């Protein structure tokens, strides 16, 4: 009797367990997170599995090869929401130009590209989005209202017979309307390489015009050029170009130049000077020092078909600093009424004095003899106590290797 009852109880338990299993079938959802429709996978992406009641039932993170997995998931309908704190993937003018061409009905964008192009997060694509992409490339803005990453909304239905549900996910860096992914910090293939085709000689505190040119004929649809330079040696004052409507930003030793064809192209012949950097050497640079410009790897150009061109050479001259010479410059203003500024340059640290003489050579004023460092200097002379007329000012420079005197004339008018 006891054995019969035991068998009955066991049967009931098995029926209950079977019923529960059938009522709550479970399976696995897995896949890879890709960068757009490229073959590059994304790690460190947080994926939330959300049911039809809008409840998060599971969370996971993609691993080093972009793989994610949810296990023991009941049958039902779900969508997956993705976020990441990965470093933003940069954007270039080519991305903005693809938005321009989309708005001008020249070329299409797929759903994920449109999502990435909506950088101002207003649920529509317009010319403001394109300009904002250019602004971030130029480093004029530091972030997009839409954030740094976007992911497609991925739906998945788990039903009977699904032992393992495979569902890949696609995401993109906001503002990136291309499909090429270069992980931050990776070497990648450069779009433009810099070569110094010549050297321009310059003295301290000299203004120069640096021409830039390509080694090949190109018909541009876009130009993205990022240059770095030693800001302790030179000042970049302005940039001019034959490219109508180009934009640029100069900050912290970096120049960012951008041009978008917006449906048009611009032909540049090989060795044609089309970009010019107006620079000024700083004072106090060591003689024979060579100053050069470096190109960031995100720099690129695109051809008449809108395709990125790899491995282009850009010729950018070096600047060689010549030996600094001691020089006395003309005072300013001249003539003057009460005061004027006397500018001078010395090649090496030296004892310096400035003397003022009247028209017949009599000394009327002299500064104290002081040790002055090499470089550009100025002295403000107060002539308010002197009579109108012509005067001479002289600089005397002396050190272990040289003794120099230089004289110029000036006029005081009251």
pLDDT per residue as tens, the chain (414 positions):
444 454 444 444 444 444 434 444 578 999 999 999 888 999 999 999 999 999 999 999 999 999 999 999 999 999 999 999 999 988 999 999 999 999 999 999 999 999 999 999 999 999 999 999 999 999 999 999 999 999 998 999 998 777 789 999 999 999 999 866 666 655 556 789 999 999 999 877 789 999 999 999 999 999 999 999 999 999 999 999 999 999 999 999 999 999 999 999 999 999 999 999 999 998 767 778 899 999 998 999 999 988 899 889 999 999 998 877 788 999 999 999 999 999 998 878 899 999 999 999 999 999 999 999 888 899 999 999 999 999 999 999 998 877 999 999 999 998
* Whether the Cβ atoms of residue 9 and residue 59 lie closer than 8 Å to each other: no
What is the C-alpha to C-alpha distance for residues 34 and 172, in angstroms, rounded to an integer? Answer: 8
Distance of CA 239 to the CA centre of its chain: 16
Strands of 327-328's sheet in order across: 327-328, 339-346, 375-382
State residue 319 phi and psi, 5-degree precision.
-120, 125
Among candidates 361, 370, 364, 360, which has minimal Cα distance to 396?
A: 370
Structure tokens at 281: 């050497």
Can you tell me the distance from the alpha carbon of 89 to that of 66, in angstroms, rounded to the nearest whole number?
16
How many Å apart are CA 375 and CA 326, to the nearest integer? 9
User: Pairing state of beta strands 389-398 and 403-412?
Assistant: antiparallel
Q: What pLDDT is recorded for position 182?
A: 67
Please give the backbone phi and psi of residue 9, each rounded to the nearest 5 degrees, phi first.
Answer: -65, -40
Cα atoms found within 13 Å of the Cα of residue 304, Cβ hemisphere only: 6
Which ranges in the chain are annotated with CATH 2.60.40.2550?
327-412
**By three-state DSSP, how is residue 311 classified?**
coil
Note the pLDDT of residue 10: 44
Q: What are phi and psi of 134, to 5 degrees?
A: -60, -45
The CATH code of the domain at 327-412 is 2.60.40.2550
CB 27 within 8 A of CB 73: yes
Q: Find out whether 208 and 279 touch, Cβ atoms under 8 Å.
A: yes
Please report the pLDDT score of residue 17 as a whole number: 40
Report how far residue 165's alpha carbon sits from residue 76's, in angstroms, rounded to the nearest whole number.
Answer: 12
User: What values do phi and psi take at 178, rounded to 5?
Assistant: -85, -175
pLDDT of residue 15: 41
CATH architecture classification, 27-188: Sandwich (2.60)
Q: Indicate where the chain has its CATH 2.60.40.680 domain(s).
A: 192-321
Q: Is the pTM of this model over 0.85?
A: no
Per-residue b or e along 79-113, where b marks 16 or more CB atoms closer than 10 Å to that residue's CB = ebebebebebbbbbbbbbbbbbbbbeeeeebeebb
Q: How far apart, in whole angstroms, are the C-alpha atoms of residue 116 and residue 133? A: 10
192-321 folds as Immunoglobulin-like (2.60.40)
CATH 2.60.40.10 range(s) for the chain read 27-188
Q: How many CB atoms lie within 10 A of CB 291?
A: 23
**Alpha carbon of residue 241 to chain centroid:** 19
| CA–CA dist 307, 288 (Å, integer) | 42
């Amino acid at each position: 009797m006891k054995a019969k009852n035991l068998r009955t109880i066991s049967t009931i338990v098995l029926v209950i367990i079977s019923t529960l299993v059938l009522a709550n079938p479970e399976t696995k959802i897995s896949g890879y997170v890709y960068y757009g429709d490229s073959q590059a996978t994304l790690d460190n992406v947080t994926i939330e599995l959300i049911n039809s009641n809008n409840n998060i039932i599971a969370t996971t993170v993609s691993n080093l090869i972009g793989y994610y997995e949810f296990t023991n998931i009941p049958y039902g309908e779900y969508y997956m929401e993705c976020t990441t704190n990965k470093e933003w993937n940069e954007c270039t003018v080519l991305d903005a130009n693809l938005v321009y061409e989309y708005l001008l009905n020249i070329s299409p964008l797929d759903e994920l590209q449109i999502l990435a192009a909506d950088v101002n997060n207003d649920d529509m694509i317009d010319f403001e989005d394109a300009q904002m992409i250019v602004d971030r490339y130029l480093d004029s803005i530091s972030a997009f209202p839409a954030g740094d990453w976007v992911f497609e909304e991925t739906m998945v239905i788990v039903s009977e017979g699904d032992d393992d549900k495979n569902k890949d996910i696609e995401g993109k860096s906001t503002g990136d309307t291309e499909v090429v992914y270069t992980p931050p910090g990776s070497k990648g293939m450069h779009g433009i390489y810099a070569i110094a085709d010549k050297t321009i000689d310059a003295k301290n505190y000299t203004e120069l015009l640096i021409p830039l040119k390509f080694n090949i004929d190109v018909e541009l649809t876009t130009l993205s050029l990022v240059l770095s330079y030693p800001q302790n040696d030179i000042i970049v004052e302005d940039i001019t170009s034959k490219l109508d409507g180009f934009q640029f930003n100069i900050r912290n030793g970096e120049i960012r130049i951008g041009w978008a064809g917006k449906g048009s192209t611009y032909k540049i012949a090989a060795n044609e000077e089309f970009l010019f950097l107006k620079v000024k050497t700083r004072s106090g640079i060591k003689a024979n020092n060579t100053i050069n410009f470096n190109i960031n790897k995100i720099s690129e150009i695109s051809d008449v078909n809108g395709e990125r061109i790899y491995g282009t050479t850009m010729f950018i001259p070096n600047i060689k600093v010549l030996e600094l010479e001691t020089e006395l410059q003309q005072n300013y203003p001249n003539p003057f009424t009460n005061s004027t500024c006397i500018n001078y340059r010395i090649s090496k640290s030296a004892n310096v004095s400035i003397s003022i003489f009247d028209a017949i050579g009599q000394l009327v004023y002299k500064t104290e003899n002081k040790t002055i460092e090499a470089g550009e200097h100025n002295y403000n002379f107060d002539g308010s106590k002197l009579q109108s007329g012509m005067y001479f000012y002289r600089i005397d420079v002396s050190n272990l290797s040289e003794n120099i005197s230089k004289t110029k004339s000036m006029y005081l008018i009251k």
